[in-house]
Structure 1
Amino acid sequence: MAKQKLKIILPVLILFVAIALMLGLMKGRQPAEQREDLPVGVLVDTITAQPETLIYRIGSQGTVRPKLMTSLVSEVNGRIIEVSPNFVEGGFFAAGEVLVTVEQDDYLTAVKAAEANLARATAALQEELARVRVAEEEWASFTEGDAPELGLRRPQLARELANVRSAEADLERAARDLSRTEIRAPYAGLLQSRAVNLGQFISRGTVLGSIFGTDLAEVRLPLSDNDLAFMHLPSGEQPQFPAVELSALVAGQQQQWQGKLVRTEGVLDERSRVIYAVVQVDDPYRLQTDGQQPLRFGRFVHASIDGISSEQVIPVPRNLLRPGNQILLVNSDKQLEFRTVQVQRTDERYAYVVAGLDAGDHLAVSALPNPLAGMQVRLGRVNGEWLDSPAAAGSDMAGD
């Protein structure tokens, strides 16, 4: 009987003890600390706006061409008996150098014949002069008054004088033809192509080859109306010649050459609506300068032309310029702000802002998917440097 009562009382007792313990624990529990949730700002990298005084650089491109290009043409007939070692494609030669020599025998004979004709005509003139003196003396001794022209042999004298002049002209022509048997370079240059060779018979008008002058090279650069607004073009009695830097990749290395803009062609291209400016480069093959890379004809080059100068201009990376000439900033309250600016010029790298930005403004350079005006942000790197340190920025992010 006692065991049965114990079995009934023990579970009840355990239940009351458990309830008492639970109530005690509930009374001793501290309330959870209430913490206000703060908004987390996006980490944004920025650059600082810095006004500058700069000279605009106008970009263009073109192909290097020689200023002087000449086709060598024979002015005599004959067989080629000698060719200069420099009369090969790409060969360099000096001004006045003999490139091709034509057989001279017939022309030497012509010179001798012309000399003989001149001597004969000169002798005849001297003889006629003697006859004129005799006629004048006879007329003066037998007759008074003015003698007729025929009586004094004036027509005969004029004829002999004309014969002498004709013989002199023939001699000059023969000597000139003889000199033309030596085809000389009209200026220092290189041979672009040749069409004849040793032993070949050529006639008057035969093209011997094509030569380029190496003293000056030219590059035609297309310029738009917008480009012209930022340049000083050569004009007037004291023209300015803007400096031009030409560049190209040669044998895997970037090379530069200096030139100057000397003129414009003065007519807009009807199809492209651009005007062509001509840049001149002295001694492109560096024949007078050792150790420099030559600027070869036919090379395609990029050009950077010195333009006008402008003050208080802020260069902004072009990718930061948004539609409507807006730029995303981080203001003093560390909030995003859209600012409309005035752009004077743009190129492939920068937009040049002349109004709408102040010195020290922070321009957001981080890629933000959906930026909104007034969005709270945190500054990360400014001009490529962390405000404190990358670790500090990371701990800041972890704390937020």
Structure 2
Amino acid sequence: MSNALKRGGIPLLIVAIAAVIAAVMISSKAPPEKKDVEEKAFLVQATPVEKQDLTYTVNSQGTVKPKVATTLSTQVGGKVVEVSDTFIEGGMFRKGDVLVQLEQSDYTTDLKAAEAELARAKAALEEEQARGKVAEEEWRSVKSSPAPELGLRKPQLAKEMANVRAAEAQLERAKRNLERTTIRAPYDGLVKSKLVDLGQFVTAGSQLGSIFGTELAEVRLPLTDKDLAYLDLNLVNNNQTEVTLTTRVAGRDAAWTAKLARSEGVLDEQRRVLYVVATVEDPYLRKAGAEGNVLNFGRFVQASIGGNKGTDVVVLPREVVRLDGTVLVVTDNREIELRNVTIQRSDEKYHYIVSGLDSGELVTTSAIPNPYNGMVVRLPEDDAEQNESTDEATETELAVSGER
């Protein structure tokens, strides 16, 4: 009985002793040190603003077209006997170059016939003039009174003079028709399309092809009423407003300088926009010494138009200005101030503010949930200054400990 008691009591004794020891250790352990948790102010990003004078730009877009486009046609008929090598789609030509030559044989014959008719008419006129002189002398030898016009053959003389003028007119027409068999380029340009070829017979009025002038290109640019508020149309119509045209050519950005030549003066009834026309000189770089990128007709370009000037303007990204027209300003005390501002203009990226902000003031560029006036914030440079101060204090304490 005693052995069984010993065997059951020893484990219980061991457990009791362990519990006592654990209780003593727990009671003798020092409580954890309590540290006050410092709540930091909300961290924000802010940037100082600056007032500036600027020129507003108005953006638009359009397609490059030639200022002069012509459909070539014949004034006389005939067979095509020669076509210039430059008279082909994309071919370049200069003013006065022969593009198409028609057969001239019949017109040369007509010219010779007109010359002969003029010579006959002049001979008949000289003959009639001589007859008039003879008739006048005969009248004077017989009578002393003035001779009648019929007696002096003046009506016959007027008739022959009219025949001469008619013959001269026929000769001039024959010369013009002969010249018209040679179709020349009316200006420097390029061929858009070609509709005739060697051996083809054409009649008067037949179309030979389409050509474009390369001296000047035009771009029609649509502008809304909102855009027009930043343009001076008097300068537009006087060719004094500069335009920058941009696009990508062969995978690279390209730009050209143009000028607004005029406004079309009538609002488009469907789109409710006013078209202005920008012009570019020598788009195909055909003048001597011309450099840059060729501006092909038919290319779509973006246009940036220089508009009115603004003074003391603060430019801020659109996301910085809140929907209620306020911005969050960080004061010197690192507090938020909800500031009302006056926006003069807005575009896809920026708001242009003319009042409500002064140069040097800090405007937050980061999102703040539920901001309010007096809200305490901190800036990244504040943390940097605090860390620097802490490091200096630590170094000082270490130096004092080392001296001891």
TM-score category, normalised to shorter length:
0.7 to 0.9
Q: How does 1:219-368 map to 2 (within 5 A)?
A: 219-234=219-234, 239=238, 241-288=240-287, 289-368=289-368
Q: Which residue pairs with 2:6 in the alignment?
A: none
Cα distance in 2 for partners of 1:89, 1:141 equals 78
Describe the SS at the equivalent of 1:126.
helix
Cα distance in 1 for partners of 2:41, 2:270 equals 53
Q: Which residue pairs with 1:95 in the alignment?
A: 95
Q: Which residue pairs with 1:73 in the alignment?
A: 73
Residue 67 and residue 387 in structure 1: after superposition, are their counterparts in 2 closer, same or farther (change >3 A)? Answer: farther
Cα distance in 2 for partners of 1:200, 1:220 equals 38
Residues 232 and 240, structure 1, Cα contact 8 Å, conserved in 2: no
1:76-97 Cα distance to aligned partner (Å, 9 max, x none): 1100000001000010000011
User: Is 1:120 aligned to 2:120, yes or no?
Assistant: yes
Describe the SS at the equivalent of 2:233.
coil
Residue 33 and residue 156 in structure 1: after superposition, are their counterparts in 2 closer, same or farther (change >3 A)? Answer: same
Residue 387 and residue 193 in structure 1: after superposition, are their counterparts in 2 closer, same or farther (change >3 A)? Answer: farther
Q: Which residue pairs with 2:396 in the alignment?
A: none
Shift of 1:363: 1.9
1:13-50 Cα distance to aligned partner (Å, 9 max, x none): xx99x989978996x87676554443233322222111
Describe the SS at the equivalent of 2:114.
helix
Residue 24 and residue 81 in structure 1: after superposition, are their counterparts in 2 closer, same or farther (change >3 A)? Answer: closer
Shift of 1:232: 2.2
Cα distance in 2 for partners of 1:121, 1:319 equals 90
Describe the SS at the equivalent of 1:301.
strand
CA RMSD of aligned residues (A): 2.9
Cα distance in 2 for partners of 1:165, 1:366 equals 91
Residue 163 and residue 38 in structure 1: after superposition, are their counterparts in 2 closer, same or farther (change >3 A)? Answer: same
Residues 235 and 241, structure 2, Cα contact 8 Å, conserved in 1: no
1:217-267 Cα distance to aligned partner (Å, 9 max, x none): 01011111221221222469x935111110001111000000111110011
Residues 61 and 222, structure 1, Cα contact 8 Å, conserved in 2: yes
Which sits farther off after the overlay, 288-297 or 341-350? 288-297
* Structure 1 residue identity aligned to 2:276: A
Residues 81 and 103, structure 2, Cα contact 8 Å, conserved in 1: yes
Q: Which residue pairs with 1:371 in the alignment?
A: 370
Residues 223 and 273, structure 2, Cα contact 8 Å, conserved in 1: yes
Shift of 1:372: 1.7
Residue 21 and residue 305 in structure 1: after superposition, are their counterparts in 2 closer, same or farther (change >3 A)? Answer: closer
Describe the SS at the equivalent of 1:63.
strand
Which sits farther off after the overlay, 30-39 or 53-62? 30-39
Q: Which residue pairs with 2:139 in the alignment?
A: 139
* Structure 2 residue identity aligned to 1:371: N
Cα distance in 2 for partners of 1:24, 1:138 equals 171
Q: Which residue pairs with 2:49 in the alignment?
A: 49
Q: How does 1:209-224 map to 2 (within 5 A)?
A: 209-224=209-224
Residue 240 and residue 120 in structure 1: after superposition, are their counterparts in 2 closer, same or farther (change >3 A)? Answer: closer
* Structure 2 residue identity aligned to 1:344: Q
Greater fraction helix = 2
Residue 95 and residue 22 in structure 1: after superposition, are their counterparts in 2 closer, same or farther (change >3 A)? Answer: same
Describe the SS at the equivalent of 1:172.
helix
Residues 259 and 280, structure 1, Cα contact 8 Å, conserved in 2: yes
Cα distance in 2 for partners of 1:24, 1:292 equals 90
Describe the SS at the equivalent of 2:110.
helix
Cα distance in 2 for partners of 1:24, 1:119 equals 147
Q: Which residue pairs with 1:174 in the alignment?
A: 174
The runs of 5 or more residues in structure 2 that have no matched partner are 1-8, 392-404
Cα distance in 2 for partners of 1:272, 1:322 equals 31
TM-score scaled by structure 2? 0.85
Residues 234 and 263, structure 1, Cα contact 8 Å, conserved in 2: no
Residue 141 and residue 338 in structure 1: after superposition, are their counterparts in 2 closer, same or farther (change >3 A)? Answer: same
Shift of 1:308: 1.4
Shift of 1:273: 1.4
Cα distance in 2 for partners of 1:55, 1:231 equals 10
Cα distance in 2 for partners of 1:380, 1:269 equals 53
Shift of 1:206: 0.3
Residue 149 and residue 23 in structure 1: after superposition, are their counterparts in 2 closer, same or farther (change >3 A)? Answer: same
Which sits farther off after the overlay, 212-221 or 332-341? 332-341
Residues 110 and 174, structure 2, Cα contact 8 Å, conserved in 1: yes
TM-score scaled by structure 1? 0.86
Residues 94 and 185, structure 1, Cα contact 8 Å, conserved in 2: yes
Shift of 1:376: 2.9
Q: Report the number of matched residues.
A: 376
Residues 260 and 276, structure 2, Cα contact 8 Å, conserved in 1: yes
Which sits farther off after the overlay, 102-111 or 322-331? 322-331
Residues 64 and 299, structure 1, Cα contact 8 Å, conserved in 2: yes
Describe the SS at the equivalent of 1:88.
coil
Describe the SS at the equivalent of 1:134.
helix
Cα distance in 2 for partners of 1:137, 1:388 equals 127
Residues 233 and 242, structure 1, Cα contact 8 Å, conserved in 2: no
* Structure 2 residue identity aligned to 1:269: D
